[in-house]
Amino acid sequence: MYLTGDAAQAEDIASETFVRVWAASDRLRVRTVKAYLFAIARNLHLKGLRRRSRWVSFPADLPDPGPGPQLEAEGRERLRVVLRALGRLTLADRAALLMRAQDGMSYEEIAAALGLSLSAVKVRIHRARLRLSDEEGR
């Protein structure tokens, strides 16, 4: 009790001390059993202090920076809707839209990659965006 100042911690240390003495297989290397017990208790207390010194206390009202379960569920549902809508687009429309939105390619690069005219690429991307926004609105 004089080491910790806390009755609960003192009881825990005393219990652990006697468990360690009971489980010890080697002979005592000190002159008295009392000195042996106090040495174990002191070492357990110091070990606990070292462990607690690494702990950091957080305020109880610390806000969670991540989205809540409601927002996560809404995001997953929105992703399912968008993926479903993307699956309904023609292959050329989907490719043009993804090259522009996901890969950040210019209209000229998309036209060259798909073998289409610049105006055809712009029309395909515009129509694909309209179809996606229609699907999301449903």
pLDDT per residue of the chain (138 residues) written in tens, 0 to 9: 777 788 888 899 999 988 988 887 777 666 778 888 888 899 999 998 888 777 777 777 877 788 888 889 998 998 898 888 888 888 889 999 999 998 899 999 999 999 999 999 999 999 999 988 887 666
**Could you give all domains of the chain from N- to C-terminal order, each with its CATH number?**
7-53 (no CATH), 89-137 (1.10.10.10)
Claim: this prediction has a pTM higher than 0.85: no
As a dihedral over the C-alpha atoms of residue 125, residue 128, residue 134, residue 135, rounded to 10 degrees, the angle is: -140
What tokens were used for 21?
Answer: 């003495």
Check: CB of residue 131 under 8 Å from CB of residue 85. yes
